[in-house]
Structure 1
Amino acid sequence: MREGSAPLIRREDYAAPAFWIKTVDLTFDLDPAKTLVINKMTVAPNPALPGAPLRLDGEDINLTRVLVDGEPVSFRTEGGQLVLENLPQQPFNLEIRSTCAPEKNTQLSGLYTSSGGFFTQCEALGFRRITYFLDRPDVMATYKVTLKADQRKYPVLLSNGNLVEEGKLDGGKHFAVWEDPHPKPCYLFALVAADLVRREQRIRTRAGRDHLLQIYVRAGDLDKTEHAMNSLIASIAWDEARFGLSLDLERFMVVAVSDFNMGAMENKGLNIFNTKFVLANPATATDVDFGNVESVVAHEYFHNWTGNRVTCRDWFQLSLKEGLTVFRDQQFSQDMAGSPSARAVKRIEDVRTLRQLQFPEDAGPMAHPVRPDSYLAIDNFYTATVYEKGAEVVRMMHTLVGDEGFAQGMALYFERHDGQAVTCDDFAQAIADANPDSELAKRLDAFKRWYAQAGTPRVKVDGVYDAANQIYTLTLSQSCVATPGQPVKAPVVIPVAMGLVAPDGRQLNLHFEGQLASVGHNTVLVLSEPEQAFTFVHVPVEPVPSLLRGFSAPVVLEAELSDDALFTLLSHDQDPFNRWEAAQKLSLRRLLAAVAGSGHVELDARFVEALRGVLRHPELDAAFKELVLTLPSEAYVAEQLDLVDPQRIHAAREGMRLQFAHALHEDWAWAYEQHHELGGYSPDPVSTGRRALANLALGMLVLDGSVRHNPVWTGKALQRFQDANNMTDRLGALSALVNAHAEQAEQALAHFHQQFRGEALVIDKWFSLQALAPEKDGKVFARAKALMLHPDFTLRTPNRARSLLMALCQSNPAAFHRTDAAGYVFWADRVIEIDGINPQLAARLARAMDHWRRLAEPYRTAAREALSRVAARTELSDDVREIVTRALQD
């Protein structure tokens, strides 16, 4: 185990390598205990750095031989690098022979074994665990790969690119030779050797080329791959139609593996996926799972261009590929949703994810810009800031230049940079240069501060209405609090999509002062100064401003709207996002008042009637209703407070949820009866929305019945659980029982486990469901601890560990933050234990304590003690050390 030995890497220190690797010829003789790797490279010196030594990265590999142009050479190892000096000053051949032990690789980085097969994960720094190499993204080479393995154990041999040769060898072995014609950085290398079955389909793209698509899974999972294949085909068609980007390989392969640190990996032509994001059928996967498979398959395929054809110069530019590709997969999912209402639901879900994951990150010790300035362990920066906030930065560019302008910018980006390793600045410059008259081009330097500054900007709103002259003046000002290393923030460019709504619900025409014509009911204000005023004329009544429509910028909007104004937006705003936002603010306002006061929420009749109106509304989609009627999470409530008492928040929210369940009892019953599906399963948006609303209603009805000792709905939920013909409804009914702590929950949980004990992803849901239940008298925490001893639980499979530990420590505040500190002791023990197995996974769990300083006593002191105990460990990975050290820094 490393002892915090890695140096701090700074973006400003970037320098080109002293050598370039042009071609790579790899031969693997695969064996779980000792795999031989022969690495033959053509290497060219960088003329700008003559005479410099060649430093190749390597970790946990045994070096056996080094040859230069066929002759042995002297070498030394230094700081995890192989150092070669006095090398030829013209291109030369370098051969390195080494061995590694895949079966001992519990980090799941590099070459490792899982379920009897070989798999790789090379992003970010995994290739150095396979062979010595210039393990950096700006070194791009073409690869030829020969795989040799036991044919009976590993009948499938895969690598990047095109299969050029295969055959049998002596001793029961066989071989396959793969060649990738596209230069790539080593983080995009992949190999798979396993006993797998496949679904395949041939397609012809708009470009008139034929391609073979293949999805490889273990035997028994083939019936769960149809949705992934359909999603891949749809992604290929969408990218070609939307951006003119065609598939550039003869074949495209997806492989599913159960042991995987990430969601999926976009290795060129050979995507390796966590099974969670490939396998889906109605019996084992929920609607959310179906949506995630579609989104992640699209995301990884879209990387084929935004990440593979154009890649990152260095890891500080990670959002160049990830932020852009998240935006692209979000756009794809919205287009697949179809109707405007379904598109709006997708946008709300994305914003909710951003607020739950990224906003807290921006306000914590790990706050960093979309393009970080430094890191100790790059694995710690695969964050919501790089991904989700990075996507919002791209979305703002799209807003400022429009659909057509953005497509033109993308075309220019590939024209300039195809086959190169570039920076976030290069992307922004291409979008601006393709749209020279746009607001983006005019303010590009200020806009690029989004990449350089951490923290969530806050936009304060002040509206003044002059009734006599029918003038409405809207003043917007922006600010951003200090974050680690950035005490002062410069103003950024913030596009504020907006409209004005009359108290009677009319959408008002917008007339800017000094302009003759109206711009319609919608416009985008561009806030680029610390404060700006925007004046509208011919405003017949005092309006309610509808600001940040569609969540047009990742900011916190500080608009002191009255309840009357929020009820107007909830009932009448033409923007679905702001209708949902109004409901959230009304709920949040009542929850915060309870937390600050007596702790008890007393729901007012107007609020109840407004939500009843949404629930009963004949024209609103069920999916939208479900979003509006779901209360803000405890974590989101906590984000609004300077001093956080998790138990007090939990009590207030649970009290509000119970009142909500009782006050709308008849309406929930109507919603359930009208929306629960009785026919065949389909993951389309309408059916998905109906199931979501029916399951929310069922949960409310069981909660109300359990508290009032009325067994009717508990019985119906149990019957629903038994009769359901799909996992969404089965799990929804089980959740209703578990979350209400109903007596029948134990029986149902046991039955569920028995029924699905052979389905790993379903058993993950079983663990999570119990760890996420609303805490009651310490029962949930106690159950989670007990589940650690369950025969099906293991810390070595990331999905299983996350299903219990992340659910408890990161997503169930009341169960985790205990006054007796037991949650923190449990957390520290698990972080230390997992760090010895898988540092990346341990670091993710360590992030549960990012916000300990904002906790009230006695939580804060206990949390500090737990963090200090982890930090005091002498044997600690760089991944975890960086997290806990930054958390403890003043």
Structure 2
Amino acid sequence: MRTDTAPVVRLEDYRPTDFLIDTVVLDIALDATATRVHADFSVRRNPAGRADAPLVLQGDELVLLSVTRDGVRLTADQYQADPQGLILPGPLPESFSLTIETMVNPSANTKLMGLYRSGGNYCTQCEAEGFRRITYFLDRPDVLSVYTTRLEAARADAPLLLANGNLVERGDIPGTGRHYAVWHDPHPKPAYLFALVGGTLDTLAEEFVTASGRKVEIAVHVEAGKRERAAYALDALRRSMRWDETTFGREYDLDVFNVVAVSDFNMGAMENKGLNIFNDKYVLASSDTATDADYAGIETVIAHEYFHNWTGNRITCRDWFQLCLKEGLTVFRDQEFSADERSRPVKRIADVRTLRTQQFAEDSGPLSHPVRPRTYREINNFYTATVYEKGAEIVRMLRSLIGPAAFRRGMDLYFARCDGTAATIEDFLGCFAEASGRDLGHFAQWYEQAGTPVVTASGQYDAAAGTYRLTLSQATPPTPGQPTKAPMVIPIVLGLVGASGDALPIATTNEATVDADGLFVLDSANATITFTGLTERPVPSLLRGFSAPVRLESELDDDDLVVLFRHDSDPFNQWQAGQTLATRLILAAMRGETVNTRFGEALGHFLDSDARNDPAFAAQVLALPSEADIARDIGRDINPTAIHNARLAVKRALGAELAPHLNALHGALQSSEAYRPDAANTGRRALRNAALDLLAAGDATEGAARATAQFDEADNMTERLGALAVLVLIPGAARDHALATFAARYGDNPLVLDKWFALQAGIPEEGTLDRITELARHPAFSMGNPNRIRALFGSFAMTNATQFNREDGRGYDLIADTVLALDARNPQVAARLLTAFRTWRVLEPIRRGKAEAALRRVAATQGLSPDVSDIAGRSLE
């Protein structure tokens, strides 16, 4: 039974379940307030479990109607039950049938877990522990069952009925106005992958022919009137399916694949077997309502959830401690898909930006945890950047270490050996160790050790000897529960660049030290590489492609960085050199020092010579390091206002210096062609918006005029929103007019208004708190919709560093009050919002004290959900 305070769950305490449920037959009569669930289970004792153990099933806010075992209805004294659980005491037969009838109220389910209503439609979310809100069950991922689901509903209420698997039967129930559909999924799956949908939905469908010639109907179902905006999602699904066949040899295994978009969803999407349920943010798109970033997001999330069919569904996790086994691996797969579909260097930069902003911040604060945590209280709080993004980086490092060919062999072995099982990290790594012939025991520490390693590099050039001695060292800072850290296995891809920009040959005193691709493996605290045969001092290009999720500290001076920025053949390190130069400018501005113009000169040269060759990459180059990036570089006693002011000063100086280049670029990149979300046009629009942003920083008057013209003339959301993003940072009539015009145009489109809410929540001005209070009363805003909450309060807390971290503490109080108001309604969303405090300990003392006080006020509140209580408690440890 569940108590108010969730108990600590420990990996070391895992033991197999005492019982298994081989088949699940559900008969669900949908009703808005009184849905009846009739569940038949075939239960057998697990040979690996305890003899004579009771059957303990989990529930969550359930109403129990009846319990029947082997055809005999049990009386209340034959079992123990409350809304949170059901126990059948032992001894029990080796195998038996169990029928449980429950009733749930979908309309009252504001937690959006289990069965609930969204936009008048029925839908489910069962990961991680939502199935227990539908019926009592062994709700754990290592219980794999074959499901048959019969859905029944009033045809007027839910003309479309969907569940996992293949459609077996459908029909009307004569004289009742009701109809039914029976779905069967032949593939055993855990309860968290169960799904159903019932409602009035428009469908866009087509036939997909697999590599072996099987015909599959793929379909996207959306709320009425939104069918035309589903075309890109269907196209992304088709491309994802073909890519997985080509790249990983994975063919789809059912007759249908359904995607359903709903407007109320706690997450981005869910990979339920054959019936993916999506937040409509990641399905709906048109040129007038979605930005290029939205299109890219749809492509990525559609692919991610589809790829789970094998890495998550066919092979699932033994327990929730292995969550990264499906999520980190699948993020790696979706990143590779998007890189192949678009620009690989730009995708890599974007992914590293996300990693550094989200996961590095998580790794350095009180919420730090290993990729495979050892304990948890509330599993919902471990769907984190560490599990997803850092988990993906581990897979990427694994491929670097053993090579692409061995990696593919390892993946093939993993699919063959673990198909139909609930696997562990050890199972996964074992396949790659066998495929490559390498011992991966040391590498496995990436899953067990929290924190971001810091790699320090220094070099010494001996002109007389023609040698360059590179010394590398590593150390991982202490994190909660792990005060001391062992050296990690860190793949470092490197190269040498001459002052003229030529790539220098890599020859070492030990040929095995650096391989032909420039890979060096740092697996000890310190190492030295001596490069020979050099006729000039090299500039080392380290961590090419960001080959490991570490922080790199080097002694390169500004001249060295300019060489890399102008000449490095590795696009990531070329971009990184520019980011490092810009960071040094901002830090110098914080110290009141004169701004060095070397970066401005190099940037001007880049804009003239290279920017139009790859506009998407150029747009990344023009984007200065974020305030969060600068804060991470400083590390402690952070004053967000000082960072903001210094960054703005550098941005203004660069904008003014580069104005001729930016003006020419912004005009030249205008296009009269019809909108297309392809890579080339996306890159062009990205660079045009980046040029406008920097231009406006240098000259607000000229910038406002250009932004207003772009806003008025734009025929697509990317350029319209890009212009509005510039205008909201320039107080005055132009801003007010643009905001009002945008709201009037899109007043009936909640997803587009989310962008409007988010931009205003991010304005770094004194009056933003009052603006947010006013926006929370806007007719389009709802505390019942996670997207609205994230757009307004999430954007404020996560992106508006100056106002969230106000010295008077009012920003902290606003978010604390919002968390407390939201907790009873939707604990998951409330807990995620509270993670905005994750970096409070590195703030300067006054802000640190205010943030701590707000956190303690949340933690001291009676009746907190386990979700929020867990985040508050860990944040204060």
Identity of matched residues, %? 48
- Would you say the 8 A contact 1:61–1:98 is kept in 2? yes
Alpha-carbon shift at residue 214 of structure 1 (Å): 0.7
| Residue 834 (str. 1) matches residue 839 (str. 2) | no
Give the distance between the partners of 2:845 and 2:637, measured in 1 at CA: 9
| Residue 723 (str. 1) matches residue 728 (str. 2) | no
Unaligned runs of 5+ in 1: none
What RMSD over aligned residues (CA atoms) do the two structures have, in Å? Answer: 1.6
3-state SS in 2 of match to 1:529: coil
Give the distance between the partners of 2:515 and 2:31, measured in 1 at CA: 68
Give the distance between the partners of 2:534 and 2:699, measured in 1 at CA: 50
Alpha-carbon shift at residue 2 of structure 1 (Å): 8.8
Code of the residue aligned with 1:451 in structure 2: it is Y
Code of the residue aligned with 1:744 in structure 2: it is A
Give the distance between the partners of 1:761 and 1:87, measured in 2 at CA: 54
- Would you say the 8 A contact 1:216–1:256 is kept in 2? yes
3-state SS in 1 of match to 2:491: strand
3-state SS in 2 of match to 1:225: helix
Q: Structure 1's 718 and 516: CA in aligned 2 closer, same or farther, altered over 3 A?
A: closer
Q: Structure 1's 463 and 129: CA in aligned 2 closer, same or farther, altered over 3 A?
A: same
Give the distance between the partners of 1:264 and 1:287, measured in 2 at CA: 19
Structure-to-structure mapping, 1:414-429, within 5 angstroms: 414-429=415-430
Give the distance between the partners of 1:250 and 1:389, measured in 2 at CA: 34
- Would you say the 8 A contact 2:104–2:134 is kept in 1? yes
Alpha-carbon shift at residue 486 of structure 1 (Å): 0.7
Q: 1:621 — aligned with what?
A: 614
Q: 1:887 — aligned with what?
A: 875
Give the distance between the partners of 2:370 and 2:183, measured in 1 at CA: 39
Alpha-carbon shift at residue 742 of structure 1 (Å): 4.0
Alpha-carbon shift at residue 399 of structure 1 (Å): 0.7
Code of the residue aligned with 1:396 in structure 2: it is M
- Would you say the 8 A contact 2:758–2:792 is kept in 1? yes
3-state SS in 1 of match to 2:685: helix
- Would you say the 8 A contact 1:495–1:525 is kept in 2? yes
Give the distance between the partners of 2:732 and 2:355, measured in 1 at CA: 33
Alpha-carbon shift at residue 620 of structure 1 (Å): 3.9
Which segment drifts farther, 62-71 or 694-703?
694-703
Q: 2:521 — aligned with what?
A: 526
Determine which of 691, 702, 726 is the counterpart of 1:736: 726
| Residue 117 (str. 1) matches residue 121 (str. 2) | yes
| Residue 643 (str. 1) matches residue 647 (str. 2) | no
Q: Deviations over 1:779-807 (max 9, x none)?
A: 22321222111111111100011001010
| Residue 634 (str. 1) matches residue 622 (str. 2) | no
Determine which of 450, 470, 486 is the counterpart of 2:466: 470
Q: Deviations over 1:436-458 (max 9, x none)?
A: 1xxxx23x111000000000011
| Residue 241 (str. 1) matches residue 236 (str. 2) | no
| Residue 746 (str. 1) matches residue 733 (str. 2) | no
Give the distance between the partners of 1:724 and 1:111, measured in 2 at CA: 42
Give the distance between the partners of 2:655 and 2:772, measured in 1 at CA: 27
Q: Structure 1's 85 and 768: CA in aligned 2 closer, same or farther, altered over 3 A?
A: same
Determine which of 477, 487, 490 is the counterpart of 2:483: 487
3-state SS in 2 of match to 1:223: helix
3-state SS in 2 of match to 1:725: coil
Give the distance between the partners of 2:563 and 2:403, measured in 1 at CA: 30
Alpha-carbon shift at residue 415 of structure 1 (Å): 1.4
Which segment drifts farther, 50-59 or 2-11?
2-11
Give the distance between the partners of 1:4 and 1:700, measured in 2 at CA: 51
| Residue 672 (str. 1) matches residue 666 (str. 2) | yes
Determine which of 225, 229, 241 is the counterpart of 2:230: 225
Structure-to-structure mapping, 1:158-557, within 5 angstroms: 158-169=162-173, 170-337=175-342, 342-436=343-437, 441-442=438-439, 444-515=440-511, 522-557=517-552
Alpha-carbon shift at residue 518 of structure 1 (Å): 9.9
Q: Structure 1's 614 and 4: CA in aligned 2 closer, same or farther, altered over 3 A?
A: farther
Give the distance between the partners of 1:18 and 1:751, measured in 2 at CA: 62
Q: 1:47 — aligned with what?
A: 47
Q: 1:660 — aligned with what?
A: 654
Q: 2:159 — aligned with what?
A: 155
Q: Deviations over 1:29-81 (max 9, x none)?
A: 11111110001000001234110000000011101111110112310137932
Q: Structure 1's 713 and 587: CA in aligned 2 closer, same or farther, altered over 3 A?
A: closer
Code of the residue aligned with 1:18 in structure 2: it is D
Unaligned runs of 5+ in 2: none
Determine which of 562, 577, 580 is the counterpart of 2:575: 580
Determine which of 695, 714, 733 is the counterpart of 2:689: 695
Give the distance between the partners of 1:424 and 1:739, measured in 2 at CA: 47
Q: 1:611 — aligned with what?
A: 603
Q: Deviations over 1:483-522 (max 9, x none)?
A: 11111111111100000001111101111214499966x4
Alpha-carbon shift at residue 756 of structure 1 (Å): 0.8
Determine which of 735, 757, 776 is the counterpart of 2:747: 757
Count of matched residue positions in the alignment of Structure 1 and Structure 2: 870
Give the distance between the partners of 1:328 and 1:662, measured in 2 at CA: 42
Give the distance between the partners of 1:77 and 1:5, measured in 2 at CA: 19
Q: Deviations over 1:108-143 (max 9, x none)?
A: 000001111100000000000010000000000000
- Would you say the 8 A contact 2:651–2:698 is kept in 1? no
Q: Deviations over 1:590-637 (max 9, x none)?
A: 212222x23xx6432322111111222246411111111111111111
Structure-to-structure mapping, 1:776-787, within 5 angstroms: 776=765, 778-787=766-775
Q: Structure 1's 559 and 518: CA in aligned 2 closer, same or farther, altered over 3 A?
A: closer
Q: Deviations over 1:249-268 (max 9, x none)?
A: 00000000010000000000
Q: Structure 1's 79 and 837: CA in aligned 2 closer, same or farther, altered over 3 A?
A: closer
| Residue 131 (str. 1) matches residue 135 (str. 2) | yes
Give the distance between the partners of 1:15 and 1:174, measured in 2 at CA: 43
Give the distance between the partners of 2:268 and 2:514, measured in 1 at CA: 47
Determine which of 791, 796, 807 is the counterpart of 2:795: 807
Q: Deviations over 1:551-596 (max 9, x none)?
A: 000000111111111011001000000011001111111212222x
Q: Structure 1's 742 and 632: CA in aligned 2 closer, same or farther, altered over 3 A?
A: farther
3-state SS in 2 of match to 1:851: helix
Q: 1:22 — aligned with what?
A: 22
- Would you say the 8 A contact 1:4–1:881 is kept in 2? no
Q: Deviations over 1:394-416 (max 9, x none)?
A: 00011112222111101100111
Structure-to-structure mapping, 1:47-126, within 5 angstroms: 47-48=47-48, 49-73=50-74, 74-77=78-81, 80-126=84-130
Determine which of 682, 702, 708 is the counterpart of 2:676: 682
- Would you say the 8 A contact 1:699–1:737 is kept in 2? no
Code of the residue aligned with 2:429 in structure 1: it is A
Q: 2:556 — aligned with what?
A: 561
Give the distance between the partners of 1:763 and 1:798, measured in 2 at CA: 14
Give the distance between the partners of 2:11 and 2:126, measured in 1 at CA: 21
3-state SS in 2 of match to 1:256: strand
Code of the residue aligned with 1:621 in structure 2: it is D
